[in-house]
Amino acid sequence: MPEEDILEEKLYERLSHLVDLRIPGFEKSVPPGKVRQLSFSNRSSIEWFEEFVERATNAIGRRYLPIFRVSDGEFYFSVGYRLPYPSPGEKPLLHYLRQIASYIKWNRFNVFWSGTPGYGYENYSTAEWKTLRPHYVECLRTICREGIMAMALMKTPDRFAERYHRPICEWFETNKVAVIPGNYYPFYFVYGLLNGPSIGRVLQDRRVLVVTSLNPNKEKAISLGLLRAGARDVQFIQISRGKALTDRIDLSGIAVPVDVALVGAGVGAANILVQLRELRTLCIDAGYSLDLIADRTLAGSRDFTLAD
């Protein structure tokens, strides 16, 4: 079906199936039914994951394939902050009183913060937020056209990010970000790829480039973790801690070829990924997986981060 015809349909209604996410290597740590992904069709999640792994590994050293993770931070940047739904057993009134207080305290209606409130891994002022959105949209269009959107359109017991599902689908339609079956995969497939038994297919004997904010201890820990996981060598590009959507990177000093590029940049990973096209290889928004590679004690802190 032509892209222009697909964009005329309602994305949220087309994502009418729920697929129970079962990823090889995580059968015990993530029980059946805990994570269910919105899907265009009723399909096996194991086959879907294997398709994802094959696409990722087949791109290594052959063609540009950006993979961008889209979760609550990216939803928030796109459509504005939405109060989370109460978890099962939580009293709605108390829940919303706490959430509204936090919303006001951290000025979420005017300022974009990612990560834990007050920590602000990324932060953009009202003016920056408004100015950067068109560039962000163009980055997403590029990624949709040439790569993969790994999206947190899922249902979990804590109702994580559910309040964004319909608004983000409508926002994609309004901005002509063409999310279609060929570029849509579950968010947790990136965790399954980089934190489980499939990691060797990505890293074994590979020349890896890491693009993230750095300090000497972080760089050393990531490098050692990647080498332990089988990487042949590791090199780095430093970016800003909180403004990655505005960063321009210089690849002139990088030894080529690069087999795999791993990016840790929050929402700004979209901006970094599109600048890595000239590497002509697999480029993954790795995010939290880089923290796990550096510090294995974090395994189990999120779903699909503790292999069986």
pTM value?
Answer: 0.93
In angstroms, the CA 208 to CA 137 distance is 28
**Domain definitions of the chain by residue range:** 3-77+122-298
CA–CA separation, 295 and 298 (whole Å) = 6
Write the CB contacts of 19 (distance below 8 Å, at least 6 apart in sequence).
36, 37, 39, 42, 43, 44, 45, 48, 186
What's the whole-number average pLDDT of the chain? 92
Q: Indicate whether 267 pLDDT > 70.
A: yes
Q: What share of the chain is helix, strand, coil (3-state, %, to 5)?
A: 45, 15, 40
Q: Is residue 5's pLDDT more than 50?
A: no
Of 303, 306, 304, 259, residue with least CA distance to 284: 259
- Res 84: pLDDT: 80
- Structure token digits, residue 185: 């995969």
4 pLDDT above the threshold of 50: no
CB atoms within 10 A of CB 112: 22
pLDDT recorded at residue 94: 80
Nearest to 49 by CA among 11, 20, 70, 29: 20
Average pLDDT over residues 199-225: 95
pLDDT (mean) for 235-245: 95
Residue with tokens 């993954």: 284
Q: Is the pLDDT of residue 2 over 80?
A: no
Q: Is the pLDDT of residue 182 over 70?
A: yes
Per-residue pLDDT at 119:
41
Q: Is the pLDDT of residue 252 over 80?
A: yes
Give residues with Cβ within 8 angstroms of 82, minimum separation 6.
Answer: 75, 76, 163, 164, 167
Strand ranges (E), 182-265: 184-186, 207-212, 233-238, 260-264
Q: Using one digit for the tens of pLDDT, what is the confidence trace for 60-99?
A: 999 999 999 999 999 999 999 988 878 777 787 786 778 7
Query: For 49-65, how does the pLDDT look when each residue is reduced to its tens digit (9 = 90+)?
Result: 999 999 999 999 999 99
Environment class of 248 (CB within 10 Å of its CB; exposed 0-12, middle 13-18, buried 19+):
exposed
State how far the alpha carbon of 121 is from the alpha carbons of 77, 114, 267, in Å: 13, 6, 10
Task: Band the pLDDT of 209: cuts 50, 70, 90.
Answer: very high
